[in-house]
A and B are shown apart, each in its own frame.
Chain A
Amino acid sequence: MQDFHYASQPFVVGRSTDTDFPACTTVEETLTTVLSHEWVNDEYKHMVVTASPKALTVKPGQFFHILCPSSDEGDLWFRRPQSVYAIDREGGRLEFLYKCVGRGTHGLATLKPGENCNILGPLGIGFTVDSAWKNIVVLGRGVGLATLAPISQMAGDAGVGVTAILSARNKEYLLSHERFEKIGASIVPVTDDDGSSDIQNVERILLELIAAARADAFYTCGSNRLFQVMKRLGAQHGIPGQIAMEQIMACGLGPCYVCVKTFEVNGERVLRRVCVEGPVFDIQEAVGC
């Protein structure tokens, strides 16, 4: 007797499992539908997907663990963590802005509008904003700017002034310029081609903001060099800071202990998991990103 029926789905990328999620769970593995998916330049792609009510509880700095299709004949065996770029609660949509670097992101880039994408989330601990802060500074480079966009939006909506120092190779890679403009952020673009992204210049800009009392808190993502200068100035001037970090990740939920990074807490080195103890950490406790 031949029986070609599979009781459970065979192992195919992108398939979701038909599970009832108990109401008490905060995380969902769900299939979203891609609404649009456009190249921003030759390396970055912008994807908009539908989102369930649970997915829409995501906060800036939190992430989704995405089961990417493959761009070749093989399969992908790990999910890829991606922080949210924008959260549209009214429209029921989420946006991701990512850089195509390896098999996972190149595979993700093959998704067309109308196709399904399996996402797990929302996951991790996001950014926070203290209601006492009047002005914050976000400093990011490359794809790190995508992670900083939603926290800038949230701060802006709460009436907090945002200065966004956007670093990139050249103007073409200054992602999210319009997005930060729309928020009403004061934008300081710095690029490699004119030398303005030099670390000394970024430090000078930060010091000016501190002197002008426009830096109640620091936020950074995407560059170890920029993080180090923000950490140093933050320590010198008593400015609290938050950093969003990345690491190779397996489960995304905590138990596998794959995505650890080193932190320094009260002079002692400790390992923390980026997926559940981050991805947003205290900038003074981070050692390197």
Chain B
Amino acid sequence: MLDLSVRIGQVELQNPVMPASGAFSTEYASVIDINRLGALVAKTVSRNFRAGNPPPRAAEVEGGMINSIGLPTKGLQYFLDAQLPDYKQYSPPLVASISAEDADDFQAMARDINVPGVDVIEINISCPTRKPGGGNFALHAEHAHDIVTRVRAETDKPIWAKLSPNAGEIVDVAMAAEDAGADALTVANTILAMKINVNTFRPALGNKIGGMSGPAVKPIVLRMVYQISKAVSVPIIGCGGISNAEDVIEYMLAGASAVEIGYVNFRNPTAMISIINGLEDWCNKRGIRRIADLTGAVRDGDMETDTYVAAAQGF
């Protein structure tokens, strides 16, 4: 009997497939059975209402999309009063995502969202389009450490720190987040990017620059997951360009315990269900009984580092 369940610290998921924050809401229940997902990940909430960025907020690029939505939110109180009960109609664990403009507010947000019904707190310290000093704490190890420490002080709930691929040394940031008490790391957010319309000479996005996601970023983020998994012992949630079951397997082999899926939901809203079905098929065909065994199972330990020896061995 195939076991698709995975464990992220204290949280058990029925399978490793979750939506990425910002690419999902209970509105997806109009097209798929969202009770089949490993967990439900809510859109990032801030303390107060935010309108978000000017349109156009997204553009197609080769291999995916760029976006600059700007974290629109109706605010924390609306999340607690309306969205939380809405999410709790469904069975998978709920991952709430929080952001804040400064460290004090981040700490206060963690305190205020530490309520029954929230199973995990994902801290979005990596939204790429926030202004410098305005919430993009995952660019620097010491900032990430500070935020995770403050959040840790306010809650016993599992904390997932969502890292930025735009950090110069993402492994250092990952280690800092682990050291400060993060229970898991979500790797990663979108990669800073731009598109210019050559007919109008205008940036394609109202915010001029944005973050890229989609299949084109997968090899880049997969490398980050691989390197981080060698450096930390907390579980990693891979997030970047996943569009089919093989992509999930690849992330798990690189060291991820679970995945979050964003872009492809926009193109194929049934994709997450198809991917869960595909994981079952893949494991059954390969005779794999526990999908969790794939985490970090990349066969790299015995790879010959001497070029001539490797070549002689037929590699």
Contact = CB atoms under 8 A, between A and B. Distances in A.
Given A67-B267, A77-B65, A120-B269, A253 B30 contact: yes
B54 to A, nearest CB: 9
Contacts of B244: 6-11
Contact of B65 (A3, A18, A250): A250
B63 A258 contact: no
B203 interface: no
A125 to B, nearest CB: 13
A7 B279 contact: yes
A237 B148 CA distance: 59
Contact of A250 (B243, B266, B285): B266
Contacts of B23: 251, 255-256
Contact of A76 (B29, B60, B243): B60
Interface in B223-280: 243-246, 263-271, 273-275, 277-279
B298 to A, nearest CB: 16
A5 B24 CA distance: 30
Given A6-B244, A78-B65, A258-B67, A17 B282 contact: no
Contacts of B275: 8
Contacts of B117: none
Contact of B267 (A27, A77, A276): A77
Interface in A69-108: 74-79
What band does the interface of chain B fall in when counting residues whose beta carbon is under 8 Å from A? 35 or more
B269 A253 contact: yes
Contact of A255 (B28, B277, B278): B28
Contact of A251 (B61, B62, B246, B269): B269
B69 A19 contact: no
A261 B62 CA distance: 26
B55 A27 contact: no
A260 B273 contact: no
B25 interface: yes
Given A21-B32, A77-B263, 9 more contacts: A8-B245, A8-B275, A8-B282, A11-B215, A77-B267, A255-B27, A257-B52, A257-B69, A260-B72
9 contacts: A5-B285, A21-B32, A25-B29, A26-B30, A78-B58, A78-B267, A248-B55, A255-B23, A255-B27
Interface of A: 3, 5-11, 16-19, 21-22, 24-29, 67, 74-79, 120, 247-248, 250-261, 271, 276
Interface of B: 22-25, 27-33, 43, 51-52, 55-65, 67, 69, 72, 214-215, 243-246, 263-271, 273-275, 277-279, 281-282, 285
